[in-house]
Structure 1
Amino acid sequence: MGCSQFSGGGAGTFWPALPQPEVDAIIKAALDGGISWFDTAEGYGAGRSERSLAAGLSRAGKTPGDVTVSTKWTPLGRTARSIERTIGDRTTNLAPFPVDLHQIHTGYGSLSSIRAQMRAMAHLVDAGQIRSVGVSNFSARQMKIAHKELAKHGIPLAGNQVQINLLHRKIETNGVLETARELGITLIAYVPLRSGMLTGKLHANPSLVATLPRMRRTMTGISAESLDRTAPLIDELRKIADAHQATIGQIALAWLITYYGDTVVATPGASKPHHAEEAAKAMQITLSDEDTGRLADLSTTVIR
């Protein structure tokens, strides 16, 4: 489960503020549904998401080792030295849970090279301060650089977190999917439901678009035009969902974790407990090759 929604709200964010009791309920629903990996970041509310996640996991009775926790370092305007200088903030915010996966949040904006960033991450692994290394929003070329540098230290590049969903399939054409499979790197799909567009709720009630934070609408392209254009895909998702006694969002998630095989995992967010419960149930759905192929073909006709 992605945890950017625990960032505390405020101007320029995707999500409204969530009180801690609501966060606790969301985390408990996710755990009850079988979700055991939670992904956050330094940049999600300047550490607020990390602290809320740790508090929620603790209140749910979880202890270190019960769950997997990943976070990210923000590279913008910083050098690789910052990775080691700020790891104490990450571990303090997430205490008592360790950093199982530490990721570079983006491939651009750092004052240091990717090689230097990977060396800093390797130092943290060697010191036992993190368990594994990942990246986010890295191109195929950047993945290869990071993988090669980590290999010098005997450390694999565990994952690259990028946007993947039925309305965003650039990994298939920009070399990221091919590189991930070649090097054994997991792709971690963020916004797997395209910020709500692939749930069908906005299509059923377009007036909800106006209630979404402006940044969320702008960055994900949610508009009346995009709802009209993607309606055929939503209609097909609904047909398959009815056949499986599932929701549209569950089918969209099931497609994502089926179509790309073991290479792709999904990190759906949840701003309400029932969102987490619904997402978890997607793991129980088995789509046929015909279903996944039909959705894949249709999605190519509505992606812009």
Structure 2
Amino acid sequence: MAEPPEDGPCPRQTVRQGDGGRGESERALATGLRTAGVRQGDVVIATKQLPMGRSAANIPRTIGDRISALQGYPIDLYQIHQPWGFSSVESEMREMAKLLRAGKIRSIGVSNFSARQMTRAATALRAEGIELVADQVQINLLNRTIERNGVLDTARELGITLIAYSPLHAGILTGRFHDDPAAMRRAPLPRKAMFGRARDLDRTRPLIHELGRIADAYGLSRAQVALNWLINFYGDTVVAIPGASRAKQAEENAGAQAFRLTEKELGRLEELSR
């Protein structure tokens, strides 16, 4: 499924759909793109295969339905959604390699793989003469786990792009819950579970304040500053995919990458986010 709305913009011209809906999300996406006059090559389309309760043999069985649902738009990136399948990572990568060689997908990625799992996947694909191109993991100013668990170092070593989901930490980095703490009580349960305690809002208030100060200086939003930090702090290794539920949020996309934070600003946000 697509990332949930985060009340912020989404940089990069990437359209991502997920594993559910029996192809309905892919059909809706293709219909929307065609209606908007978007041609092949104007966007990058990524989708996922959910391995839970399935073996690697399931991978080629469902790809035809996805291709059909996309109505001529290609699958630019096909990802194994979680490292929880019945089959080994190596078996899954061999099946993915077959799809790529058959021209059914254009590149291969994974999601929520650890450094070790990512290395296993990359090694298995290289034995097939193919590179693993992406690992989708949570990264944002309030979740920098990749710096401690080896994922960032491994991705850089292997030349793998990290796709940051929830780059606004479920909307927390927009500052809306700091401005109105009562809004947290009205938020969906997953958001509360991620970040729902008043003391957490107090703890991160200096970071949100600095995001606001920088945003005011540029005439932008706190969300755009948080996204700009993310896509610049890690260099070419990280790209971001926040969700959007309104046209206004989508229209902010370009603004999130139409400027660049200074090294001092990047460093100040890094310090406050520790």
User: TM-score by structure 2 length?
Assistant: 0.94
Deviation of 1:36 after TM superposition, in Å, equals 2.1
The 2-side partners of 1:225 and 1:53 are apart by 40
Deviation of 1:59 after TM superposition, in Å, equals 1.2
The 1-side partners of 2:211 and 2:140 are apart by 13
2:102 pairs with 1:127 = yes
The 2-side partners of 1:191 and 1:47 are apart by 23
Deviation of 1:46 after TM superposition, in Å, equals 4.8
Deviation of 1:58 after TM superposition, in Å, equals 1.4
Deviation of 1:216 after TM superposition, in Å, equals 3.1
Match of 1:168 in 2: 143
Match of 1:232 in 2: 206
The 1-side partners of 2:167 and 2:34 are apart by 27
Correspondence for 2:30 among 38, 54, 77: 54
The 2-side partners of 1:236 and 1:222 are apart by 21
Match of 2:61 in 1: 85
Match of 1:24 in 2: none
Match of 1:112 in 2: 87
Q: Is the Cα contact below 8 Å between 2:47 and 2:75 reproduced in 1? A: yes
Match of 1:192 in 2: 167
2:74 pairs with 1:98 = yes
Q: Is the Cα contact below 8 Å between 1:253 and 1:279 reproduced in 2? A: no
Match of 2:190 in 1: 215
2:73 pairs with 1:74 = no
TM-superposition CA deviations, 1:218-271 (whole Å, max 9, x none): 2x2233332222111100111111111111000000000010000001111101
Match of 1:65 in 2: 41
- Which consecutive unaligned segments of at least 5 residues does structure 1 have? 6-13, 16-28
The 2-side partners of 1:222 and 1:230 are apart by 12
Q: Is the Cα contact below 8 Å between 2:210 and 2:269 reproduced in 1? A: yes
**More displaced, 196-205 or 45-54?**
45-54
The 2-side partners of 1:243 and 1:48 are apart by 43
Provide the secondary structure at the position in 2 that maps to 1:66: coil
The 1-side partners of 2:207 and 2:27 are apart by 38
Change (3 A) 1:114 1:175: same
Q: Is the Cα contact below 8 Å between 2:12 and 2:253 reproduced in 1? A: no
TM-superposition CA deviations, 1:113-165 (whole Å, max 9, x none): 00000000000001100000000000000011000000011110010000000
The 1-side partners of 2:26 and 2:177 are apart by 29
The 1-side partners of 2:188 and 2:137 are apart by 22
Whichever residue aligns with residue 97 of structure 1, its letter is: Y
Change (3 A) 1:46 1:236: farther
RMSD in angstroms over aligned alpha carbons?
1.9
Q: Is the Cα contact below 8 Å between 1:41 and 1:47 reproduced in 2? A: no
Provide the secondary structure at the position in 1 that maps to 2:162: strand
Any residues of structure 2 matched to 1:25-36 within 5 Å, and which? Answer: 35-36=12-13
Provide the secondary structure at the position in 1 that maps to 2:245: coil
The 1-side partners of 2:22 and 2:183 are apart by 28
Whichever residue aligns with residue 178 of structure 2, its letter is: H
The 2-side partners of 1:116 and 1:277 are apart by 41
Q: Is the Cα contact below 8 Å between 2:3 and 2:166 reproduced in 1? A: no
The 2-side partners of 1:94 and 1:3 are apart by 15
2:116 pairs with 1:141 = yes
Aligned residues: 272
Q: Is the Cα contact below 8 Å between 1:42 and 1:90 reproduced in 2? A: no
- Which consecutive unaligned segments of at least 5 residues does structure 2 have? none
Whichever residue aligns with residue 98 of structure 2, its letter is: H
The 2-side partners of 1:214 and 1:55 are apart by 31
